């Protein structure tokens, strides 16, 4: 097994097999791109400045001297693989170049807990899909009809909506409860007030690498080579605002007040050992969505809630990314089939990831079944939706043989509405 001179515990999210991408603020206030290993971030700016990315595609490209990943993302799969291989070689336990150079070592490795992470790329556009069958069935049962829970289009196309990138925030950002139009029960006209039904959505998002030109499309069997990696995503949702506003054009202000993402993008290269067959699709997808070998990833996901009365967060959901019905390749092929152009650094959310039983549902709406069955917490409290002071933490990892590829976490706290 590949090992680094930087020690990592077997349950660390960041062994040498992972090497995700992020960005942090240096002590001088600059933004440097970075990776992670064990308890450290790896300053990629410093490694690049030293000329250590010396492979054929990245030599003299200065890609890691930018303050965002976008240019690197535009270079494509071969450049991403070259960067990964260069980093793995530099970090290898038998390579003295970085290991034995004390000065360089101290410039490159910074304590992961001590640095402030920032968004690693300029996210130009954000789209959110709705690709978990169980989630779509649950919501359809609650809001429409359990007999016809799925809309007729659902098994023919990956349903999605355009979100808003300006309000994508990094893990740790605290958010004020939004206000909006809400229709009270048994009323025909809405009132303006603070949402009383703040929810989370457990999702993962993919970041696009190379895009496509306007008018062209990305074929489904080539789509994965346009995808750089995955991050954890919480699509915060105000269910009472959503319920009143969503017909006929879909989510708007219920969703665009905030979307939180984890600071690390885990590459598809790192996730390769965790490929699993995607769920069987019936009816067969139309030809432009028919993947030759549809695969997805075995990533265990968890949600924790910490109310202001708790000392430790309590787990309220465990599920797995592999439950998603539509694959990322199908999502991207569908997104571009009309000639819509994707650009490097675009973000596509998976949709809420729910398994097929109660403890595996990826939102409070489902866990507490629209407020009819509140979840009971060890603190003696119960929850149907999030209260002020509640902190929510999403985490996930893929378990290898003796190592773990982790995504870190995405957390966020709900503050009272601004009066």
Active-site residues, by number, are 135
366 forms part of the interface with Mn ion (CB under 5 A): no
DSSP per-residue string spanning 157-211: S--EEE--STTEEETT-EEEPPEEEE--TT-SS-EEEE-S-EE--EEEEEEE-S-
Closest approach of Mn ion to the CB of residue 341, in Å: 23
Dihedral (C-alpha) 414, 417, 418, 419: value to the nearest 10 degrees?
A: -160
- Site size for Mn ion, by CB under 5 A? 3
x/- string (CB under 5 A) for Mn ion, residues 71-110?
----------------------------------------
Tokens 């995607």 map to which residue?
Answer: 278
Site for Mn ion in 319-338 (CB under 5 A): none
Q: Which lies closer to Mn ion via its Cβ, residue 128 or residue 391?
A: 128
Q: Which stretch binds Mn ion (CB under 5 A): 10-18, 126-134, 282-290, 336-344?
A: 126-134
Report the run of H or E that residue 275 belongs to, with start and end: strand 275-277
Q: Which lies closer to Mn ion via its Cβ, residue 70 or residue 242?
A: 242
Closest approach of Mn ion to the CB of residue 258, in Å: 12
Q: Which stretch binds Mn ion (CB under 5 A): 125-133, 182-190, 320-328, 380-388?
A: 125-133
Closest approach of Mn ion to the CB of residue 161, in Å: 8
Q: What is the CA radius of gyration of the chain?
A: 22
What would the two tokens of residue 103 be? 């000065």
CA angle 296, 298, 301 (to 5 degrees): 120
Q: Which stretch binds Mn ion (CB under 5 A): 83-91, 169-177, 196-204, 263-271?
A: 196-204
What would the two tokens of residue 177 be? 């409860």
Site for Mn ion in 166-185 (CB under 5 A): none
Tell me 265's DSSP state.
B
Name every residue whose Cβ is closer than 8 Å to that of residue 91 and which is 6 or more positions away in sequence: 4, 5, 6, 16, 19, 37, 42, 98
Closest approach of Mn ion to the CB of residue 163, in Å: 8
Q: Which lies closer to Mn ion via its Cβ, residue 235 or residue 391?
A: 235
Closest approach of Mn ion to the CB of residue 331, in Å: 13
Tell me 355's DSSP state.
-
Site for Mn ion in 198-237 (CB under 5 A): 201, 235
Name every residue whose Cβ is closer than 8 Å to that of residue 337 and which is 6 or more positions away in sequence: 217, 288
Closest approach of Mn ion to the CB of residue 131, in Å: 10
48 forms part of the interface with Mn ion (CB under 5 A): no
CA angle 254, 196, 159 (to 5 degrees): 30
Closest approach of Mn ion to the CB of residue 241, in Å: 14
Q: Which stretch binds Mn ion (CB under 5 A): 3-11, 25-33, 123-131, 207-215?
A: 123-131
In the chain, what's the furthest Cα-to-Cα distance? 72
Q: Which lies closer to Mn ion via its Cβ, residue 128 or residue 133?
A: 128
CA distance 294 to 306: 37
Cβ-proximal residue to Mn ion, closest one: 235
128 forms part of the interface with Mn ion (CB under 5 A): yes
CB atoms within 10 A of CB 91: 23
- Chain Cα centroid distance, residue 278: 19
8 A C-beta contact, residue 132 and residue 301: no
3-class DSSP assignment, residue 89: helix
Q: Which lies closer to Mn ion via its Cβ, residue 139 or residue 329?
A: 139
Q: Which lies closer to Mn ion via its Cβ, residue 63 or residue 136?
A: 136
Name every residue whose Cβ is closer than 8 Å to that of residue 222 and which is 6 or more positions away in sequence: none
Q: Which lies closer to Mn ion via its Cβ, residue 15 or residue 412?
A: 412
Closest CA to 329 of 163, 158, 154, 133: 158
Closest approach of Mn ion to the CB of residue 255, in Å: 7
Q: Which stretch binds Mn ion (CB under 5 A): 16-24, 90-98, 140-148, 194-202?
A: 194-202
Q: Which lies closer to Mn ion via its Cβ, residue 17 or residue 262?
A: 262
Tokens 């265990």 map to which residue?
Answer: 300
Binding interface with Mn ion (CB under 5 A):
128, 201, 235
């Amino acid at each position: 097994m590949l090992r680094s001179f930087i020690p990592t515990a077997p349950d660390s999210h960041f062994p040498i097999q992972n090497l995700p991408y992020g960005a942090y603020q240096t002590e001088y206030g600059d933004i440097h791109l970075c990776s992670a290993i064990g308890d450290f971030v790896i300053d990629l700016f410093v490694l690049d400045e030293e000329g250590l990315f010396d492979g054929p595609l990245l030599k003299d490209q200065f890609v890691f001297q930018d303050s965002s990943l976008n240019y690197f993302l535009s270079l494509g799969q071969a450049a991403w693989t070259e960067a990964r291989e260069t980093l793995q070689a530099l970090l290898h336990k038998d390579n003295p170049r970085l290991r034995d150079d004390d000065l360089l070592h101290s410039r490159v490795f910074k304590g992961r807990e001590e640095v402030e992470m920032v968004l690693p790329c300029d996210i130009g556009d954000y789209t959110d899909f709705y690709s978990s069958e169980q989630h779509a069935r649950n919501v359809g049962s609650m809001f429409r009809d359990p007999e016809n829970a799925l809309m007729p289009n659902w098994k023919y196309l990956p349903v999605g909506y355009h979100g808003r990138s300006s309000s994508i925030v990094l893990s740790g950002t605290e958010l004020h409860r939004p206000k909006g139009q809400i229709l009270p029960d048994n009323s025909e006209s809405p009132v303006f007030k603070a949402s009383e039904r703040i929810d989370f959505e457990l999702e993962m998002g993919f970041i696009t690498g190379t895009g496509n030109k306007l008018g062209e499309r990305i074929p489904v069997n080539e789509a994965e080579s346009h995808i750089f990696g995955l991050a954890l995503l919480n699509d915060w949702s105000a269910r009472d605002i959503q319920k009143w506003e969503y017909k006929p054009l879909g989510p708007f202000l219920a969703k665009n007040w905030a979307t939180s993402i984890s600071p690390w993008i885990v590459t598809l290269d790192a996730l390769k050992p965790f490929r699993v067959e995607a769920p069987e699709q019936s009816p067969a997808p139309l030809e432009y969505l028919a993947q030759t070998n549809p695969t997805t990833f075995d990533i265990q996901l968890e949600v924790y809630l910490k109310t202001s009365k708790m000392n430790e967060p309590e787990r309220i959901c465990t599920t797995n990314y592999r439950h998603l019905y539509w694959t990322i390749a199908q999502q991207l092929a569908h997104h571009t089939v009309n000639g819509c152009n994707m650009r490097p650094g675009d973000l596509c959310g998976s949709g809420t990831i729910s398994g097929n039983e109660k403890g595996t549902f990826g939102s409070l709406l489902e866990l507490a079944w629209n407020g009819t069955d509140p979840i009971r917490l060890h603190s003696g409290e119960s929850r149907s939706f999030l209260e002020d002071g509640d902190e929510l933490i999403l985490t996930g990892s893929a378990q290898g043989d003796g190592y773990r590829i982790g995504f870190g976490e995405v957390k966020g706290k709900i503050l009272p509405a601004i009066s």
